[in-house]
Structure 1
Amino acid sequence: MTALDKRQVPAGEPARRAERRSDRVADLGQRHGALAVLVIVSLVGLAAFPGFRTPENAATLLVNAAPLALIALGMTFVILTGGIDLSVGSVFVLGGVLAAWASQYGFWAALAAPLAVCGLIGLVNGVLVARTGMPPFIVTLASLLGARGLMRAISGEGSATYLVAAPAFKMFGNGAALGVKWPVWVAAALFLIGTVVLHRMRFGQSVYAIGGSADAARLMGVPVAATRVCVYAISGLLAGLAGALNAARLGSGVTVLGIGLELDAIAAVVIGGTLLTGGAGALSGTAAGVLLLGVIQNLINQVGDLPAAYQQVISGSFLAVVVVAQTWLARLRRVASG
């Protein structure tokens, strides 16, 4: 046998190598595509808009993105299990109103009231989804209406605006450490904790397992119902916290915010590479998705005189392109691995 014969490649090996390369490219694109697009869009902004390059603009972008980041963090846990939470926008507004109202009793009351009420709403969502088998879409849609109705009742049909009374709580929304405002630090810390939970703890393994196949997870001994209850409770808590931080920053509980915020959170999660069917995704992608949404809106604002209607068209079109690309990469990955 010659040396050439010894080095002969087995039949079909080039095709298998090509499939593996395609799988790796699709996997990288799905997981880190949002980060790549974020870098590209940011570079365009840095080159085209002098106002985009200022530290003040960067600080504004980060603090504006913090509430959505918290909501998208909770939404990632929910979507990883194959669920959805449409109530977070209304829960966010309710949390802000509750925080402003409770601030008359001090800092801790302003923080505890939205966490308790909004966490309870999330807990009820989880129990209904996990124990009754009701579709998450229907359950959380009902909670959306209920939370907004409760907010309107507290605020007198939106006519009463509660101002933040506790100076310490107002400082919580506007104070800074190392030049970065506290809401940004809170969001970053919770993303770090969430990453550890998802990748280093049994609860995170259960979340991924349920998203992959709830039936298979149940056979493996995963507490499917309890895990689902927890992820919806987490989503409610984080939406309430986001509302509280926003109220602290604005100095009042604004009743007209939060409309469509649940769709922004879902978009950030999906853009970040988390599959709507569950079982695959990471919080790093969600963070990139949140920042990408913020950068796009910031660049649109840099244009200045663009009508609001056209801003929505441009933003929506861009997001549609990114989501279609993510869907295509996910399909390519499934084909390559299957």
Structure 2
Amino acid sequence: MTVVKDETATGRHVAYDAGEPAGDGRGDRLSALAQQHGALVALIAIAAVASLSFDSFATTGNVENMAVSSAFLAIVALGMTFVIVTGGIDLSVGSVFVLGGVLAAWGSRHGTVVALLLPLAVCGLIGLVNGLLVARLRLAPFIVTLAAMLGARGLMLALTDEGANTYLVAEGSFFADLGQGKLLGIGAPVWITAALFVAGGVVLRRTRFGQHVYAVGGNEDAAALMGAPVARTKTLVYTLNGLLAGFAGALNAAWLDSGVTILGYGMELEAIAAVVIGGTLLSGGMGFVGGSLVGVLLLKVIQNVINQIGSLDSAYQQVVSGGFLVLVVVALTWLARRRRVP
């Protein structure tokens, strides 16, 4: 997909595809396919083997549980995809997620509208501040979002008296139905996540804003020279990430009937891992939301397989996920170098 055009001093226009690095030949096409769809192949293969090896893996209950539990991480990973495509990073989403859940549970006593708008407003504001500091003051995203992570976690602890208070969601309310309801036998969080990913895919691949996201991640200086609103794009991306993390936390609170305060630890790393596994480059300029969804499902399937084995400690989930992430990053780096035009 051609996303930007650069008018050179000679008046010629040079177009490039920010979503798919340049390259030609059969080897480049195979590398592109492996880079974009390798995680999907791995997901299908692991799921097939697990279905044959464990009787309970492919049952309706287990599949539904994996789908619903994946929905919240997937929403966070959706926002993270936009951030990483711009070449940024956001370490605050885990804390923003749990803060969103606490705010939603507290607000649910005043109705569904407050339960949804309150976490969106607060978490969106955190994302906006992150974006302004990164885009306008040119501070390092790692430091800015690390500070936001600590701030969001501290605000959550202050609201819950150091985690001693747990706010409950009223049973039978419309807000609770958002997390626990079903449509055609499928949990509402799954449908909501699917809708968000469709919208996210359209925005990233089919809108001018999405073109700017790719351009900024591909080459920020070149994007600025071509007239792309670099600072505004970065600010919007971090704001969107905060909104999605807060909404995921609110949806999780509706599912659990409470704003659990011990959640979110390490979620930012899981989201980053899922996005990278799905084919988005950490250096920015390339990625797609469908790959991030596949990355989330792949991580959840691996964790479920470890649980199915039963004899392995739960800590092995992190070991396997970390090792798998290293392999994926090495593979993506190698594939990207193969497709790079001298």
TM-score by length of 1: 0.92
| Residue-by-residue CA offset, 1:191-232 (whole Å, 9 max, x unaligned) | 000111111110000000000111111111111111110000
* Partner SS state of residue 286, structure 1: helix
| Residue-by-residue CA offset, 1:18-49 (whole Å, 9 max, x unaligned) | 97111111111111111111111111111111
Matched, 1:111 2:121: no
1:313 to 310, 319, 323: 319
How many Å separate the matches in 1 of 2:78 and 2:318?
24
How many Å separate the matches in 2 of 1:295 and 1:70?
17
* Partner SS state of residue 117, structure 1: helix
Matched, 1:155 2:160: yes
> Following TM superposition, by how much is the alpha carbon of 1:273 offset from its aligned partner in structure 2, in angstroms?
0.7
Matched, 1:292 2:298: yes
> Following TM superposition, by how much is the alpha carbon of 1:321 offset from its aligned partner in structure 2, in angstroms?
2.2
* 1:214/1:224 contact within 8 Å kept: yes
The range that moved more, 226-235 or 165-174, is 165-174
The range that moved more, 228-237 or 322-331, is 322-331
What letter corresponds to residue 331 of structure 1 in structure 2? R
Within a 5 Å distance, the mapping from 1:243-322 to structure 2 comes to 243-322=249-328
Q: Which residue of 2 aligns with 1:82?
A: 87
* Partner SS state of residue 132, structure 1: coil
2:50 to 24, 45, 50: 45
Q: Which residue of 2 aligns with 1:228?
A: 234
Matched, 1:101 2:112: no
TM-score by length of 2: 0.91
Contiguous gaps of at least 5 residues in structure 1: 1-17
Q: Which residue of 1 aligns with 2:201?
A: 195
Q: Which residue of 2 aligns with 1:120?
A: 125
Q: Which residue of 2 aligns with 1:5?
A: none
Q: Which residue of 2 aligns with 1:11?
A: none
Contiguous gaps of at least 5 residues in structure 2: 1-22
Q: Which residue of 2 aligns with 1:23?
A: 28
* 2:107/2:115 contact within 8 Å kept: yes
> Following TM superposition, by how much is the alpha carbon of 1:306 offset from its aligned partner in structure 2, in angstroms?
1.6
How many Å separate the matches in 2 of 1:326 and 1:47?
30
> Following TM superposition, by how much is the alpha carbon of 1:328 offset from its aligned partner in structure 2, in angstroms?
2.0
Q: Which residue of 1 aligns with 2:3?
A: none
Within a 5 Å distance, the mapping from 1:46-61 to structure 2 comes to 46-61=51-66
Higher helix residue share: 1
| Residue-by-residue CA offset, 1:26-78 (whole Å, 9 max, x unaligned) | 11111111111111111111111111111111111110000110000000000
* Partner SS state of residue 222, structure 1: coil
> Following TM superposition, by how much is the alpha carbon of 1:301 offset from its aligned partner in structure 2, in angstroms?
1.1
1:240 to 240, 243, 246: 246
Matched, 1:333 2:339: yes
Matched, 1:218 2:205: no
How many Å separate the matches in 1 of 2:24 and 2:134?
39
Q: Structure 1 residues 19, 195: closer, same or farther in 2, change over 3 A? A: closer
What letter corresponds to residue 270 of structure 2 in structure 1? D
Q: Which residue of 1 aligns with 2:187?
A: 181
How many Å separate the matches in 2 of 1:311 and 1:88?
21
How many Å separate the matches in 2 of 1:82 and 1:315?
23
How many Å separate the matches in 1 of 2:175 and 2:126?
23
What letter corresponds to residue 102 of structure 2 in structure 1? V
Q: Which residue of 2 aligns with 1:12?
A: none
Q: Which residue of 1 aligns with 2:214?
A: 208
% identical equivalent positions: 63
* 2:201/2:289 contact within 8 Å kept: yes
* 2:307/2:314 contact within 8 Å kept: no
* 1:33/1:326 contact within 8 Å kept: no
How many Å separate the matches in 1 of 2:129 and 2:270?
23
Q: Which residue of 2 aligns with 1:9?
A: none
Q: Structure 1 residues 311, 218: closer, same or farther in 2, change over 3 A? A: closer
* 1:175/1:182 contact within 8 Å kept: yes
The range that moved more, 315-324 or 233-242, is 315-324
> Following TM superposition, by how much is the alpha carbon of 1:324 offset from its aligned partner in structure 2, in angstroms?
2.2
| Residue-by-residue CA offset, 1:132-163 (whole Å, 9 max, x unaligned) | 01011111000000000000000001110111
2:151 to 130, 146, 153: 146
